[in-house]
Amino acid sequence: MAEFDVDLFVIGGGSGGVRAARIAANYGAKVMVAEEYRMGGTCVIRGCVPKKLFVIGSHVHQEIEDAAGFGWSIGQVSFDWATLVANKDKEIARLEGAYTSNVEKSGARIVKTRAVLEDAHTVRLATGEKVTAKYILIATGGAPNHGPAVPGIEHVISSNEAFHLKELPKRIVIQGGGYIALEFAGIFAGFGSDVTVVYRGDSVLRGFDEDVRKHVRAEMEKRGITIITGCTVAKVDKHGRDFTTHLSSGSSIASDQVMIAIGRHPNVRGLGLEAAGVAINPANGGIQVDGWSKTSVDNIYAVGDVTHRTNLTPVAIREGHAFADTVFGKRPVQVDHATIPTAVFSQPEVGTVGLTEEEARAQYSHVDIYKTDFRPIKATMSGRDTRVLMKIVVDGSSDRVLGCHIVGDAAAEITQAVAIAVKMKATKADFDATVALHPTASEELVTMRTPTARHVRQAAE
């Protein structure tokens, strides 16, 4: 009789857990996956995929406006929010089916129920069944953070509910200044909503390059989005179907929807972590793991947003794959969390990889900056008042490209390719030696020859 019921028990059917389950099963492991909601997790069900579909849909309004400059005369158009939501739901259901099918094809078994740790090798299902496992992987992701329990917090929505609203809000207040807040600000504005963003900091996109932050804010404001910084939502009053949002500054805003998007917290509650001896990282509230994604318990691992390391879907997938290779493939793999590209599907779009100017100047004695801000070719005919930002951060001593930051159409697509060069430690000379692809916006990345700034940090005496 086998010592354990399964070789691997995965708690969470999102991107990281699914990848780990499939790869482990391919190595011959007996695998069980527990998912209490829907297979696919945050990204597929209520995150990046439906968000990107909404972003694409919201761009159409701008395309219609820009068409006149290219000779198109487009008559009266209309938009139906319910149709968008219904079609999005169909696509998400298709993807959920694909995730389920791929796991089952690998030989792993899915149980649609909640799972809680009883000890280091035992999992209790909500059905009452107990399963013993040689290894356990926690991949429960994260959930929206509503922040302080201000009066009226029960009236607000998170990004979860935003995907299922019965109708498009005419006016919406969004608190937050990160990925989710800015992406939904662009989505709702693109569909015609009056949008106000409220953020506690001095500028949006904390942690991004300062030039990116300024450029994104300016471009969003050009598109009619109101951005109020330096304050927070203090209270929300509901009057029938309308709301009054009171700010910490003393002012108030009327709207018919209020959304809180101030970040996400790891899903660690009620998992039985204490019973199994799994430690929480006091610095970020996520499950504490080492470079191999191992927790404080030798046979229990954790990947993805529940660790609160780098909360990006491709990172969770990479971590899940590396775990399975290491534990079941006997091919030790550690994930390199440095130089990870990321995108904000705001409007305008942001793509970035590597160090910001501020980070580079703190780490390197000589830093060269190459920066350009220009009107894209489409705007010369459409007449739209918009500009693209491109910025390269270079180690002035070695000539290595340390970071690249782009704001404008297709920024994410461009950054994915540039990330390969940055990961390979390409130099500015390598960029300069690359022939430009004309006419594109991205050709600016290989034609910027003269630094716009050079920073030299004086050695301490």
Q: For residue range 233-290, what is the model confidence (pLDDT) as tens digits?
A: 999 999 988 999 999 999 999 999 999 999 889 999 999 999 999 999 999 999 999 9
Question: Residue 44: exposed, middle, or buried by beta-carbon count in 10 A (0-12, 13-18, 19+)?
Answer: buried
pLDDT of residue 58: 96
Is residue 461 over pLDDT 50? Answer: no
Whether residue 438 lies in the annotated active site: yes
> Residues marked as binding?
52, 176-183, 263, 305
pTM of the model: 0.94
pLDDT of residue 146: 79
Structure tokens at 331: 């091919």
Nearest to 421, CA basis, from 353, 356, 363 = 353
pLDDT of residue 459: 59
- What average pLDDT does this structure show over 219-225? 96
207's CB contacts (< 8 A; 6+ apart) are: 356
CATH of domain 153-262: 3.50.50.60
Quote the CA–CA distance of 259 and 174 in Å, as a whole number: 5
- What average pLDDT does this structure show over 344-358? 97
CATH 3.50.50.60 assigned to domain 6-144+265-327? The reply is yes
Nearest to 217, CA basis, from 233, 232, 228 = 228
Following CA atoms 118, 123, 126, 129 in sequence, which dihedral angle do they give, to the nearest 10 degrees?
A: -110
Is residue 160 over pLDDT 50? Answer: yes
Residue 218: pLDDT band (50, 70, 90) is: very high
- What average pLDDT does this structure show over 194-220? 97
The CATH T-level fold of domain 348-455 is Enolase-like; domain 1 (3.30.390)
Residue 460: pLDDT band (50, 70, 90) is: very low
- What average pLDDT does this structure show over 416-441? 97
- What average pLDDT does this structure show over 449-453? 96
Is residue 1 over pLDDT 90? Answer: no
The residue annotated as part of the active site, out of 164, 239, 308, 438, is 438
Query: If you average pLDDT over every residue of the chain, what do you get?
Result: 95
> Residues marked as binding for NAD(+)?
176-183, 263, 305
Please give the share of the chain, as a percent, with pLDDT higher than 70: 99
Nearest to 136, CA basis, from 313, 331, 323, 329 = 323
Quote the CA–CA distance of 192 and 173 in Å, as a whole number: 14
Is residue 14 over pLDDT 50? Answer: yes
> Residues spanned by CATH 3.50.50.60 within the chain?
6-144+265-327, 153-262
Q: What are phi and psi of 436, to 5 degrees?
A: -70, 150
From residue 301, how far is each of 31, 138, 244 by CA, in Å? Answer: 14, 6, 45
pLDDT of residue 33: 96
Is residue 413 over pLDDT 70? Answer: yes
Quote the CA–CA distance of 411 and 248 in Å, as a whole number: 35
Is residue 392 over pLDDT 60? Answer: yes
- What average pLDDT does this structure show over 307-335? 95
pLDDT of residue 263: 87
Pairing mode, if any, of strands 342-344 and 350-354?
Answer: antiparallel
